[in-house]
Chain A
């Protein structure tokens, strides 16, 4: 079993839709949860960062972590074609050097 599981999609939505991206994890030591956005042939870019359980909002993006169910979510409101990318969830904790364990990534396409 992978430590972080993510549905690879692909996910295709119309412009303006609300997008929900999800991951599950198995390692109880994980305390930090991130979402990275990766455009085609580029490096991952940090989008959202959350410590422990709770919600965090930044503009059109909301990250949720439920540690009781080991569930991580990213919501994108009013999605735009420029949001088309691969979204990677990542978790860390339990190591001294901030090792990130990534999900496989979900490919999102927002069409006009």
Chain B
């Protein structure tokens, strides 16, 4: 089945220790998104890729970076995680021109 896969499902890191979360998709969608969802809050868009074009939301902290080496994979790098970065990180994909996004299962990040 075509899907969006995120690894790992759970990640524990230490305050200030860089961490990378990964997302892969078999849907062959052009657009990939990263969202942050804190407990009992709405998912918040961090950035998205349209093919290789990276687009940052204006209020996304510089601490968050992303890479998309090819159509299938996208990475979220948190350079110096703080306690406030503990959240669920969701990856989503969509076809160009479609408003429908397909989400992965998420990676729950814990910062100690």
Q: Give the B-binding residues of A (Cβ under 8 A).
A: 4, 6, 8, 32, 34, 36, 41-46, 49, 88, 92-93, 97-100, 102-105
Contact = CB atoms under 8 A, between A and B. Distances in A.
5 contacts: A32-B99, A41-B106, A43-B4, A49-B99, A104-B42
Given A42-B106, A97-B55, 10 more contacts: A41-B88, A43-B105, A44-B43, A46-B101, A49-B100, A92-B99, A98-B94, A99-B48, A100-B45, A100-B101
Given A97-B31, A100-B45, A8 B98 contact: no
Given A104-B41, A105-B40, A98 B101 contact: yes
Interface residues of B, number: 25
Contacts of B101: 46, 98, 100
- The secondary structure that dominates the B interface is strand
B34 interface: no
Nearest to A86: B40
B102 A102 contact: no
Contact of B40 (A93, A100, A104): A104
Nearest to A42: B105
A61 to B, nearest CB: 16
Best-buried of A4, A6, A44, A105 by chain B (most CB within 10 Å): A44
B50 interface: yes
Nearest to A96: B50
A46 B98 CA distance: 13
A65 to B, nearest CB: 13
Nearest to A46: B100
Contacts of B43: 44, 88, 100, 102
Interface string B83-105: 00000101000100011111111
A23 to B, nearest CB: 11
B108 interface: yes
A43 B42 contact: no
Best-buried of A32, A88, A100, A103 by chain B (most CB within 10 Å): A100
